[in-house]
Amino acid sequence: MRKPSHRSRTVLAAVAVTVLGVAGCDAVGGDSPGPTDRTAHSAKPTPAWDVSPSSIAAVGDSITRGFDACTVLSDCPEVSWATGTSSDVDSLAVRLLGRTGAAEHSWNYAVTGARMADLPGQMAQAVTRRPQLVTVMAGANDACRASTSAMTSVESFRADFEDALSTLRQSLPKTQVYVASVPNLKRLWSEGRTNPLGKQVWKLGICPSMLSDADSFGSAATLRRDTVQKRVEAYNKVLKEVCAKDRRCRFDGGAVHDYRFGTDQLSKWDWFHPSVNGQARLAEIAYRKVTAGKT
């Protein structure tokens, strides 16, 4: 066979370089997708929300502590809607992890009387457990003050909630957050005022901005209650807006606020906080929201 001329070898080399150059562009994402690109595009993305987290931490206030659900003016965390182990409630933790799992892999950092300003500190405690899900129920005490003028401003409420989420995200960027809306305090007043014993307990200082002068329908009392109600609605708007900015945060869509708590769902001691039955209803709402598909 005749050896190729120098000119032929030069042409072949140029063609080879051109072919290899085109192949190289495709391999790193040129105009025509190469095998690597096709593989990447066909792989299913990891879902942002896991409906079956394996550990839970709860932050918030007296509701999450089960206050007044078992005995008067006392916490009862075993019936907490979020992390309790009572079979009468079947908390969110029990429904997701089982009773043994709830006892071993859920933690309750809520504090009776806590306001949104306390949430960053609670969240810092929760972070140490590295939970896959954090539940948040806070805001009622920001509205339940000695007077309407003492209620937490909407701006401060927003800043404190953002701070709490930032505290979580700095350490646990992938942990999920379930945020419950602030309950309808005006409805709780409307239901609870039918019980004389409950109204006596209210006088000990439970949510005075809403519950003081419980039987008064005068203009001042009505205006005061309406002012509290509007502030609660503003808080819920903040929870919704801030949560919406975090792809691993789910707001309950106002489900807790809209739930029509009746006397069976209220504590038989103060007729304001959730009873064991009420805690079970909160657990149902949370489980439904946490395990739902795309929202």
Q: What is the pLDDT of residue 252?
A: 98
Does 108 score more than 60 pLDDT?
A: yes
**Sequence ranges of the domains in the chain:** 113-290
Tell me if 181 sits within 8 A of 254, measured CB to CB: yes
Q: What is the pLDDT of residue 124?
A: 98
Signed CA dihedral, 260, 262, 265, 270: sign only? positive
Q: Which residues contact 28 (CB under 8 A, 6 or more apart)?
A: 34
Lowest mean pLDDT among 38-47, 90-99, 151-160, 278-287: 38-47
Pick the CATH number of 113-290 from 3.40.50.300, 3.30.379.10, 3.40.50.360, 3.40.50.1110: 3.40.50.1110
Please tell me the distance from the alpha carbon of residue 148 to that of residue 66, in angstroms, as a whole number. 26
Does 43 score more than 70 pLDDT?
A: no
Does 14 score more than 80 pLDDT?
A: no
User: Strand 249-251's sheet: what is its strand order?
Assistant: 106-108, 56-60, 133-137, 176-179, 249-251
pLDDT in tens, 132-151: 999 999 999 999 999 999 99
pLDDT in tens, 181-230: 999 999 999 999 988 988 888 998 899 999 999 999 999 999 999 999 99
Mean pLDDT of 157-165: 98
Mean pLDDT of 145-172: 98
Mean pLDDT of 63-92: 97
Amino acid in position 217? F
